[in-house]
């Protein structure tokens, strides 16, 4: 069996658009007619340019290869052009192709992917969700309202979720790390207080920051939210500054989480060893794919850390996360995004039931992709999947973060 054909679909989720402006889906077909699906999360260049990168990686390193030879194809891509170091675009392209290879292998053998990477360790995976506005919550007011966030948290707890994530400390900015304003510190503490008061001990609080802060700024913010006992403090400093991460970890009792912007074991190893990270969050469409994420899980286990796969993408990456989570002993939870479009794109073949994701038993990724639906929503914009604010933050008021890249209604 050899890998023969590649198709790339750039799908734009309709409003509300949770999961980013677009999702890059890859469809790989073998010479025996088996089709595998993957998703590329890397998007530091526009989707047209990224499609060219994906095609180049496929033609150089994947075309004509047996899909079983995942490690060989990874080493080709990782080493390409005399690099042998993480290259976000190249490894992001390979990640989606690699996920598709595992989907093919599972379908060929009639087995789910987790059965091929160690077997089933977990029958269901604890899920967590961002706090998104409910139908009655006006935008953009919701994003700076502790009271509305608390109402959304109660709604998620009633659905069975035992962990909720929120990030009221301001938008992504190219100027990170910076010192947070007192407005943002106060609002962050108010969010934690309101959500903890509403949810009680029924849900863990997951505090996100998107790597925005200087070392001292992250420590100040941690001191303000620590009384509400968050389960994690996510990416408090820019992702490439392991020394700063270690200083923050030493200064707070809140467990440090990071990983959505890290790529391969080469970047996760120092975060665990030197950054004292407690929870690692690989995005499988960026970090190297399923097999590389399996290695990251082993690294994490050696440092007594847990895994919480990241998801701000489409449901194919979600399905890959679930397959990985099913096979590892140190899974903490997995991010989920429940929109009608996420579910429709995979024909409701994954679900969240009372706060947990049942692990599918169907072959490969365990999902069925609605290819026609994916093609019916092409991306026609000119923005990146996520974009950083260029202006500096304000010190005269709250810096509102509007939930990633929402589609305007």
Summarize pLDDT for 137-174 with one digit per residue, the tens. Answer: 999 999 999 999 999 999 999 999 999 999 999 888 89
In this predicted structure, what is the pLDDT of residue 407? 62
Distance from C-alpha of 216 to C-alpha of 320, rounded to nearest angstrom: 36
In this predicted structure, what is the pLDDT of residue 93? 98
Task: Return the sign of the alpha-carbon dihedral for residues 241, 242, 248, 252.
Answer: positive
Q: Would you give the end-to-end CA distance of the chain in angstroms?
A: 46
**169 torsion bin: left (phi>0), alpha (psi -120 to 50), beta (else):** alpha
In this predicted structure, what is the pLDDT of residue 389? 87
Among candidate residues 209, 208, 206, 201, the one with its CA nearest the CA of residue 157: 201
- Residues in the chain with pLDDT values less than 50: none
Distance from C-alpha of 280 to C-alpha of 297, rounded to nearest angstrom: 8
User: Cα 286 from chain centroid?
Assistant: 9
In this predicted structure, what is the pLDDT of residue 401? 85
Contact of 215 with 247, CB cutoff 8 Å: yes
Residue 310 token pair: 């990241």
Among candidate residues 266, 323, 328, 291, the one with its CA nearest the CA of residue 74: 291
In this predicted structure, what is the pLDDT of residue 408? 57
Residue 6 token pair: 């590649």
Residue 258 token pair: 């990071």
- What architecture is domain 3-111? 2-Layer Sandwich (3.30)
Summarize pLDDT for 293-338 with one digit per residue, the tens. Answer: 999 999 999 999 999 999 999 999 999 999 999 999 999 999 999 9
Q: In the chain, count H helices and then E strands.
A: 13, 12
User: Where, residue-wise, is CATH 3.20.20.120 in the chain?
Assistant: 116-364
Distance from C-alpha of 232 to C-alpha of 216, rounded to nearest angstrom: 18
The correct answer on CATH 3.20.20.120 for the domain covering 116-364 is yes
Q: Which residue has the tokens 């890249």?
A: 405
Q: Which residue has the tokens 């309101």?
A: 194
Contact of 399 with 393, CB cutoff 8 Å: yes
Q: What is the DSSP string of 263-317?
A: -HHHHHHHHHHTS--SEE---HHHHT-HHHHHHHHHHHHHTT-EE----SS-HHH
Among candidate residues 238, 230, 288, 297, the one with its CA nearest the CA of residue 269: 297
Angle among Cα 193, 310, 253 to the nearest 5 degrees reads: 40
């Amino acid at each position: 069996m050899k890998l023969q054909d590649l198709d790339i679909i750039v799908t734009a989720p309709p409003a509300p658009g949770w999961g980013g402006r677009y999702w890059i889906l890859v469809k790989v077909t073998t010479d025996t007619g088996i089709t595998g699906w993957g998703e590329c999360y890397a998007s530091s260049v526009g989707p047209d340019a990224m499609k060219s990168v994906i095609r180049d990686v496929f033609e150089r390193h994947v075309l004509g290869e047996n899909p079983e030879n995942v490690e060989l194809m990874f080493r080709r891509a990782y080493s390409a052009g005399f690099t042998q170091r993480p290259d976000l675009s190249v490894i992001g392209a390979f990640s989606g192709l690699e996920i598709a290879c595992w989907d093919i292998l599972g379908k060929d053998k009639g087995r789910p992917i987790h059965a091929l990477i160690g077997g089933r360790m977990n029958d269901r995976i604890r899920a967590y969700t961002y706090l998104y506005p409910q139908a009655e919550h006006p935008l953009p007011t919701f994003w700076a309202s502790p009271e509305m966030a608390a109402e959304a948290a109660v709604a998620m707890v009633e659905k069975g979720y035992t962990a909720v994530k929120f990030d009221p400390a301001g938008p992504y900015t190219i100027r990170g790390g910076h010192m947070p304003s007192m407005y943002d510190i106060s609002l962050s503490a108010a969010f934690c207080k309101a959500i903890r008061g509403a949810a009680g001990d029924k849900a863990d609080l997951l505090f996100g920051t998107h790597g925005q802060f200087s070392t001292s700024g992250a420590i100040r913010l941690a001191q303000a939210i620590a009384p509400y006992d968050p389960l994690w403090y996510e990416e408090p400093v820019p992702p490439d500054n392991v020394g700063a991460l270690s200083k923050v970890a030493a200064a707070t009792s809140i467990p440090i989480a990071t990983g959505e912007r890290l790529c391969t074991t080469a970047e996760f190893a120092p975060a665990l060893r030197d950054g004292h990270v407690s929870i690692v969050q690989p995005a499988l469409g960026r970090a190297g794919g399923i097999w590389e994420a399996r290695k990251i899980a082993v690294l994490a286990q050696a440092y007594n850390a847990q895994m919480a796969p990241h998801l701000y993408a489409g449901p194919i990456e979600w399905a890959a996360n679930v397959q990985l989570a099913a096979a590892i002993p140190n899974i903490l939870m997995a991010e989920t995004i429940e929109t009608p479009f996420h579910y429709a794109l995979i024909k409701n073949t994954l679900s969240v039931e009372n706060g947990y994701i049942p692990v599918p038993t169907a072959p490969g990724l365990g999902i069925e992709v609605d290819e026609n639906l994916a093609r019916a929503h092409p991306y026609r914009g000119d923005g990146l999947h996520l974009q950083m604010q260029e202006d500096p933050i304000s010190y005269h008021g709250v810096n509102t973060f509007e939930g990633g890249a929402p589609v305007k209604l």
